[in-house]
Structure 1
């Protein structure tokens, strides 16, 4: 039990959480209450003993199917801890909505917040505000350095960009022409991936990058971007997607057109694995996203206990090819 959390405070917080559920316009906030006791089969060390009556917020950049895997993993981690999760995201990638959601969670006086910031610089002041009120904040997927956040969960995005370049180089024999589709131009993690990718290809290969486009988190725009690039560069050798939205859009286009070109994507989720099995995707570079949910809950429990943690919790990078899933 956290000191200073009275029954009245928890009751008020519950009412506010319910009120937020009615305000869908602020970003689709949902609560998941897990009140079960830990089971004998649960793998919980004495250092991570189950706790009760904690509320954690998880804020995604947008509502998208790829984040469902992370949410499910987080729910399973919370199940034996008697933890309430408030999971929220803007309908589409939107910095202002993320800020409003953060403000709402600060008013709820939650015990911790995990956020994948659309724009790190813009979110930094509200992250600092949460921290100043005693609410620990961690980031995942994309970091917000200098914001006062306690820790970042995910892989090194510069190293990820280099790995993507190495993988495409191996697939193409370090020559050929590629098109690249990515997500939000202002998102730090995506910027780091792209810059590292371009730098490595320029210095270590003869691969020509024909065009880079940004979908800004919009699947319709991603579809249009990819179809346009395919039409304007009919002799391209391969496509790289650096975000989940372009991975999904590209998979649909590859399937519809029956394309027999190399397609390298980011992200380990059921849809991507299926596309890999079916031949739409050639390879995936994963940051082990399927484990982020548990890591988020475990880390928030530790930081809300006041435990000292490293600033970077590395989830690692993994290359998955068709042979690995067949």
Structure 2
């Protein structure tokens, strides 16, 4: 009898506990729902919605472009929807551009890698959506403005630097991101135009890395095996420098090669400090993103804007890197 009473007591206690917990859980859910509703009622969407379509989300350069644009959101009451392929893929970029047009965003900022972007840019403009190009221009389209490096002049700058540093005597291999990408074409064109004026310099091979570090390494390795007389390399994208130096190290050629490439990424900065890379063409991706939002706001408000906005390109060598570190309070 006592045992039955104990069982009933335990069952009753369990029921009371479960019932009390159910009431507590219900009240917590109701409180959470009320908070969500309150936030939804009190929050207001941004006044403007811009689409920023970059080349590659996982690329340090494009992360900086995105960060620069997002930094302006609060100042201009704008939401910047930053999208791009995980890896460089022009066809995927075109799909994102098409989606932005169909979503009827207030403005589009896009890297226009080739001629296929022109019809979609024009379609957006026809629908009343202003378009800017960033990093790579589409001058034949009806985009309102372009912001980015003057890639032809950046190529000339790289060429002038190589001529100066090698004293006009070099056999050169070029690794470019993609043959089809307009900004890489311009970087090669400017570079070649300078080297044509120097009798002691010859370009013996040009290959593409597909904007991939391993691709750059494979192409540089192949070049060095086929052209053992190469004394200098020019890389037109951020990842080319790491690939070139990796290939040179495998062939024990690191100490006798001159290497110039683009962008002060963490890896390139380390290679520059170690002497594996001799010079970098530094761009301003953060400024590109930041200024693109400012310019797009001027366009939307009907203010006059210049068609071309060039950001600076400069040469960085090891002493410049050490100076930057000292300015930031770091020890070299």
TM-score by length of 2: 0.77
Q: Equivalents in 1 of 2:118, 2:55: separation in Å? A: 15
SS at match of 1:213: strand
Partner of 1:93: 88
Structure that is richer in helix per residue: 2
**Distance in structure 1 (CA, Å) of the matches to 2:66 and 2:250:** 30
Q: How far is 1:204 from its partner?
A: 3.2
1:67 aligned to which of 54, 62, 67: 62
Helix, strand or coil at the partner of 1:180:
strand
Q: Are residue 324 (structure 1) and residue 325 (structure 2) matched? A: no
Q: 1:192, 1:174 → 2: CA distance?
A: 22
Residues in 2 aligned to 1:130 and 1:140: alpha-carbon distance in whole angstroms: 16
Q: Which of these two proteins has the greater Rg computed from alpha carbons?
A: 2
Closer, same or farther: CA 93–263 of 1 in aligned 2, 3 Å: same
Map of 1:269 onto structure 2: 265
- Match of residue 77, structure 2, among 82, 95, 100: 82
In structure 2, C-alpha distance between the alignment counterparts of 1:245 and 1:133, rounded to whole Å: 38
CA 1:249–1:58 in 2, change beyond 3 Å: closer, same or farther?
Answer: farther
- Partner SS state of residue 112, structure 2: coil
Match of 2:195 in 1: 201
Call closer, same or farther: CA 1:163–1:135 in 2, change over 3 Å: same
C-alpha distance 205-169 of structure 1, shift in aligned 2 (>3 A): farther
Supply the distance in 1 between the matched residues of 2:215 and 2:83 (Cα, whole angstroms): 23
Q: Which runs of 5+ in 2 are unaligned?
A: 1-42, 323-332
Residue 241 of structure 2 contacts residue 259 of structure 2 at CA under 8 Å; is this kept in 1? no
Contact residue 149 and residue 313 of structure 2 kept, 8 A: yes
Q: Decide whether aligned partners of structure 1 residues 83 and 205 sit closer, same or farther in structure 2, where only a CA change above 3 A counts.
A: farther
**1:118 alignment partner in structure 2:** 113
Q: Is 1:291 the equivalent of 2:264?
A: no
Contact 1:268 1:288 in 2 (8 A): no
1-structure distance, mates of 2:163, 2:126: 46
1:170 matches 2:164: yes
Offset of residue 278 of structure 1: 2.8
Deviation, structure 1 residue 273: 2.6
Counterpart-to-counterpart distance in 1, 2:298 and 2:148:
17
Q: Secondary structure at the match of 2:261?
A: strand
Q: TM-score, normalised on structure 1?
A: 0.78
CA contact (8 A) 2:215 2:243 kept: no
Check the 8 A contact 2:55/2:62 in 1, yes or no: no
State the Cα RMSD in Å. Answer: 2.3
CA distance in 1, matches of 2:80, 2:193: 40
Aligned to 2:277, what secondary structure does the other structure show?
coil
Q: Could you tell me how far 1:280 is from its partner in structure 2?
A: 2.5
